[in-house]
């Protein structure tokens, strides 16, 4: 599975690719500003037209823009339900936030309760089984080989 933006999908990924694509639907910030200040940057019509298998958006629990990131997930879930497109919530961690079982348990649970059908989160050595047990939707572990 590839996860990318629509710009990369259109300009780099060959149209004949057989790999499923999860289209990143949130963004619009740079390293010069607060990274958690994202907006929905993709219409569901584009996601369907580009033959995506799902859309993805960051959710920043505990950050300055937590509320906005949750609203983004809700907006995508609502739009996706109308066309049968699943939404993946990607748990974002700010530079000052601790990557531990407690945080990821809360972040994954909130994202699932807002309607995300899949959660992408980080693996933590201590307590990961508790994260999985507390999340009612499938979890994908962040990381892996970059293409």
List phi, psi (to 5°) of 78: -60, -45
Q: What is the mean pLDDT of residues 79-88?
A: 98
Is pTM beyond 0.85? Reply is yes
Q: Does pLDDT of 116 surpass 90?
A: yes
| pLDDT score at 37 | 85
List phi, psi (to 5°) of 10: -70, -35
- d(Cα 69, Cα 66) in Å, to the nearest integer? 5
**What is the DSSP pairing of strand 54-59 with strand 39-40?**
unpaired
Q: Is 94 exposed, middle or buried (0-12, 13-18, 19+ CB in 10 A)?
A: middle
**What is the DSSP pairing of strand 118-121 with strand 139-141?**
parallel
| pLDDT score at 27 | 86
Domain boundaries, the chain: 2-141
The mean pLDDT value of the chain amounts to: 91
CATH code given to domain 2-141: 3.20.20.70
Q: Does pLDDT of 131 surpass 60?
A: yes
Q: What is the mean pLDDT of residues 73-86?
A: 98
Contacts of 106 (CB under 8 A, 6+ apart): 61, 62
Are the C-beta atoms of residues 93 and 69 closer than 8 Å to each other?
A: no
Confidence of residue 142 (pLDDT cuts 50, 70, 90): confident
| pLDDT score at 145 | 64
Q: Does pLDDT of 147 surpass 60?
A: no
Q: Residues 19, 120, 145, 146: which is the catalytic one?
A: 120
Q: Does pLDDT of 33 surpass 80?
A: no
| pLDDT score at 9 | 93
Q: Does pLDDT of 98 surpass 80?
A: no
The sign of the torsion formed by the CA atoms of 7, 2, 88, 60 equals negative
| pLDDT score at 137 | 98
CA distances for 134 relative to 61, 81, 137, angstroms = 16, 24, 9
Q: Is residue 71 among the annotated active site residues?
A: no
């Amino acid at each position: 599975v590839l996860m990318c933006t629509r710009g990369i999908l259109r300009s780099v990924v060959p149209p004949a690719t057989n790999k499923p694509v999860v289209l990143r639907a949130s963004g619009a910030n740079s390293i010069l500003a607060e990274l958690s200040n994202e907006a929905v940057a993709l219409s569901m019509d584009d996601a369907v037209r580009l033959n995506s298998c799902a859309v993805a958006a960051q959710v920043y629990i505990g950050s300055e823009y937590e509320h906005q990131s949750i609203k983004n997930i809700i907006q995508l879930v609502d739009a996706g339900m109308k066309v049968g497109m699943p939404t993946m919530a990607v748990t974002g961690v700010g530079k000052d936030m601790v990557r531990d079982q407690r945080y990821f348990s809360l972040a994954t649970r909130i994202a699932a309760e807002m309607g995300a059908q899949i959660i992408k989160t980080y693996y933590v050595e201590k307590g990961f089984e508790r994260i999985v047990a507390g999340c009612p939707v499938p979890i994908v572990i962040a990381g892996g080989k970059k293409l």
